[in-house]
Homo-oligomer: A and B are copies of this chain.
Amino acid sequence: MTGAVNSHEILVMPTTALDEKSADYAIVCAIPIDAKGITMIFGRQANDDRRDKMERIDSGKPRFAAVGGEAVIVFDDVFVPHEKIFLNGETEFAGAIVYRFAAHHRANYGACKTGLMDVLTGAVSYLAQAQGTARASHIKEKVTEMIHLSETLYSSSIATSAEGWRTPSGGYMVDTMLANVCKQNVTRFHFEVARLALDIAGGFIATLPSELDMKSEEVGHLVKKYFSGVEGIPVEDRIKIGRLIEAMTGGTALVESMHGAGSPQAQRVMIFREGDLANKIKLAKSLAGIRQKAKGVQI
């Protein structure tokens, strides 16, 4: 459903492995977004009112404020032409489709959120310059940690592809263990990076008045006076970057990193399952001088 409202067509697929009794749900297909019988109910996102009211600075994303958002998509007797149906009752493939789709989604989450974290790192670095704190050793330590986490995530995403393999059809499949590891780190690192960003940014993000106040004749000069930073960086730029940081560190953005492409526990189940404990136990026994004749892994 992510991004569906901005798309021409949407892809529909099951969310879990299916048995024969569920054949009616073993459907994968593509549908135009405006097909008859589809209702999209747009969800609320953090601070979406600012966007709707065209308060562009306060939205945090002045150039892209009008886009994005999730919707609940309701199907009521929707017709799908035959050539847009890719699975039609073959329940034996449902699990594999779900898992392969999830693996790709989880893998590219790492690259996506690396970009987000890089922007956030740039934003707080610029704000620290505007506030005159950029050279403080504890600020540099925190920026270093943000980069470290972002690059750790990036490396997981790269490795997921580097360890991928060619399917008989000529497509490529990512490494499923590393795809889950990558997404699991997203569910942690975005929060920690947001925490560090808010630490560096300072408390003004919670007290900053509306851009309408900043532009008002009555109090605008006061807002500009008391929120100014170092000389040479316009107060409006400090406010803009503060709003960008606000938008990237709270609310919907964090929920999406947590649950997009599957919730944390879904990844943990797969990490345990693909961990090949039988082989790890074999290695440990060998080093400890224990005869193999391995009992089955019971864990």
Chain A interface residues (CB < 8 Å from chain B): 1, 39, 41-47, 49-50, 53, 56-58, 60-64, 70-72, 74, 118-123, 125-126, 128-129, 134-141, 143-144, 147-148, 151-152, 154-156, 158-163, 177-178, 181-182, 184-185, 187-188, 191-192, 194-195, 198-199, 202-203, 205-210, 213, 219, 222-223, 226, 232-233, 237, 240-241, 243-244, 246, 249-252, 254-256, 258-260, 263-265, 268, 271-272, 275, 277, 279-290, 295, 297-299
Contacts of A213 in B (CB 8 A): 41-42
Q: How far is the CB of A237 from chain B (nearest CB, A)?
A: 5
A156 engages B163 (CB within 8 Å): no
Identify A187's interface contact among B147, B160, B199, B209, CB under 8 A: B199
Can you report 5 residue pairs joining A to B where beta carbons are below 8 Å apart?
A61-B287, A121-B277, A137-B138, A152-B185, A206-B252
Q: In the assembled complex, how far is the CB of residue A145 from the closest CB belonging to chain B, in whole angstroms? A: 8
Closest to A145 in B: B268
Interface SS of A by simple majority? helix
Is B254 in contact with A125, judged by CB distance below 8 angstroms?
no
A144 touches B260 (CB 8 A): no
The answer to whether A152 touches B151, judged by C-beta atoms less than 8 angstroms apart, is no
Contacts A49-B49, A251-B251 given: A152-B148 contact, CB under 8 Å? Answer: no
